Structure 1
Amino acid sequence: MVYCSGFFALLLIFLEWIRPGLPSPLRPICDMRVLNHFIEEARDAEAAMRFCKEECSVAVPLTVPLTSVDFAVWEKKNIEEQAQEVQAGLWLLNMAISSLSASITSSALHSHIDATIRNIASLKQVLRSLSIQDYVPTGGGTEETWRVSSASELFQVHINFLRGKVYLVLRNAPVCQQQIT
């Protein structure tokens, strides 16, 4: 009986130590090299798609976020509005790239598409680490969008979105500003 209760106590100590079911809070990821990695992979995908003509055309134009930034308007938005715009854009890009995936048959191109989808998921995790909430689409979306008709255009938008709005949100995230000072 003593052996059993000692084992039980040891088990409780171990379970308390690892705390199953209670995830540890994410540490903020403020290192811009992470974003640069995603940008480089997006460039690689865009380069691969650039030489693909017929196989990479899309039957129906894909909706993507606008990548241009009007700094006067952007600066007037609070960080939550900026973050929401980035999350909405990542959602649109993920939907467009997933749609493209369904129409591409080349396994080499699929590897770039799959990597891009994984990178968007990782980028969303980075944003969560900065306490930026996920985007939940609503019926009355206010995102500014446009349409692309080729894989190359889609990946060019992806690169520009990462280099523009995503960069601005990550650079100006309050938790990252606190670490700098």
Structure 2
Amino acid sequence: MIQAGHKTVRKTVGLFAVLLMVLEWTRPGLSSPLRPICDLRVLDHFIKEAWDAEAAMRACKDACSIATNFTVPLTRVDFDVWEAMNIEEKAQEVQSGLHVLNEAIGSLQASNQTDVLQSHVDASISNIASIRQVLRSVSIPEYVPPASGGEDEETQKVSSISELFQVHSNFLRGKVRHLLASAPVCKQGVS
């Protein structure tokens, strides 16, 4: 019991430290532009949180089940296609995927779920908002919904909460990581 408490405190302190870094670099009202956050260790923190949520949902099978399908972004990356895309196209794909994930995970907030699930849902939504701040700091354009309002071809359906969190984790490790690593300001050696 004491060991679990220390783990929670350590996790909270780590999250608090990352949050302070992000807030310091993205403080509203400053006359100077945002300082680019190119250090992939910041993203690695969010990836670890997503992986922890994924592992918790796999262990929580019956208690964390819900009878619905979730629309999620595709996570596979065809590197030849990815490298041929310009930064705006990559940004639109990633920001669109983050939007879809936020919607899917956010839909769980209204359901009566376990405290464990609710904790991971809240943390994931907060983390997606922080990742958007990190991307904004490296001049990645924000999400612009398509004018057609139709279903995005870059999505798929999953039927369980554990699959939803698995996609979340994979999306951060794949497309989000590749986008941040290829941001022009980060390639210039700014960190």
* Shorter-chain TM-score range: 0.7 to 0.9
Task: Give the aligned partner of residue 44 of structure 2.
Answer: 36
The alpha-carbon deviation at position 101 of structure 1 amounts to 2.4
Change (3 A) 1:23 1:114: farther
Task: Give the aligned partner of residue 82 of structure 2.
Answer: 74
**Structure with higher helix content:** 1
Task: Give the aligned partner of residue 171 of structure 2.
Answer: 161
The alpha-carbon deviation at position 141 of structure 1 amounts to 5.2
Q: 1:148 is aligned with what amino acid?
A: V
Determine what percentage of the aligned residue pairs are the same residue.
68
Task: Give the aligned partner of residue 130 of structure 1.
Answer: 138
- Give runs of aligned pairs for residues 52-131 of structure 1, distance below 5 A: 52-131=60-139
Deviations 1:92-125 (A, max 9, x none): 0000000122224212221111011000000000
Q: 2:116 is aligned with what amino acid?
A: A
Task: Give the aligned partner of residue 151 of structure 1.
Answer: 161
* Matched length: 161
Change (3 A) 1:130 1:175: same
* Partner Cα separation in structure 2 for residue 94 and residue 56 of structure 1: 18
The alpha-carbon deviation at position 26 of structure 1 amounts to 1.0
Q: 2:39 is aligned with what amino acid?
A: D
Tell me which stretches of 4 or more aligned residues in structure 1 moved more than 4 Å: 20-23
Q: 2:117 is aligned with what amino acid?
A: L
The alpha-carbon deviation at position 21 of structure 1 amounts to 4.9
Which structure 1 segments of 5+ residues have no match? 1-19
Which structure 2 segments of 5+ residues have no match? 1-27
The alpha-carbon deviation at position 162 of structure 1 amounts to 0.6
Deviations 1:117-160 (A, max 9, x none): 00000000001001112112231454411011111111110111
Q: 2:74 is aligned with what amino acid?
A: L
Structure 1 SS opposite 2:109: helix
CA contact (8 A) 2:64 2:114 kept: no
Task: Give the aligned partner of residue 54 of structure 2.
Answer: 46
Task: Give the aligned partner of residue 187 of structure 2.
Answer: 177
The alpha-carbon deviation at position 55 of structure 1 amounts to 3.5
Structure 2 SS opposite 1:58: coil
**Structure with higher strand content:** 1
C-alpha RMSD of matched pairs (Å)? 1.7
Deviations 1:29-68 (A, max 9, x none): 0000011100110111111111222342232200000000
